Amino acid sequence: MSTVLDVDVLLLYATALAAKRRPAEPIEIVAALDLVHGNIPGEEKLSEAFARLGAAGLLVAEGSGVALTEAAEKLIQILPRKGEHAQRLFELKGLLGAHRPAADGVAIALDAETLRAAILGHRAAAASGGKNLLVPKPKP
């Protein structure tokens, strides 16, 4: 990838957090975005980022969810394990800038309406007093 946008880095990192054992649903990715960044980008920007990362061969659609490809998993494994989110995002941005896809992927088509519904669902869950399960445990 030649030009790396911040929303691409955020989306890839949030997907890595949300899709540990199975493909992540859009609402899970939105929850991870909120955890990492404290702010959720607009649905149009997210939709474009999904398409770019899919075309770069880093994300793949599986059923109704999104998962990392093998190339993306290798990039995530390089990141420092004990680093804070900001440090890991900075490192990931550098890795994405140097990444050259071996083969073109298929753009992921998540429309703005689906993402808007996921954002609204996340906000409703946050307002109801539910707990974000992606929050790290407090250190003693």
The pLDDT tens digits of the residues spanning 68-117 come to 988 889 999 988 888 788 888 899 898 888 888 766 777 787 878 888 88
74 three-state secondary structure = helix
The pLDDT tens digits of the residues spanning 118-135 come to 888 877 877 776 555 555
CA distances from 33 to 9, 59, 80, 91 (A): 11, 16, 19, 17
In this prediction the pTM is 0.81
Mean pLDDT over the full length of the chain? 83
pLDDT at 120: 84
pLDDT at 14: 92
Q: Give me the half-sphere count of Cα atoms (radius 13 Å) on the Cβ side of residue 70.
A: 2
For 21: left if phi > 0, alpha if psi spans -120 to 50, otherwise beta; the answer is alpha
Name the residue among 6, 40, 5 with its Cα closest to residue 26.
40
Which residue type sits at 107? A
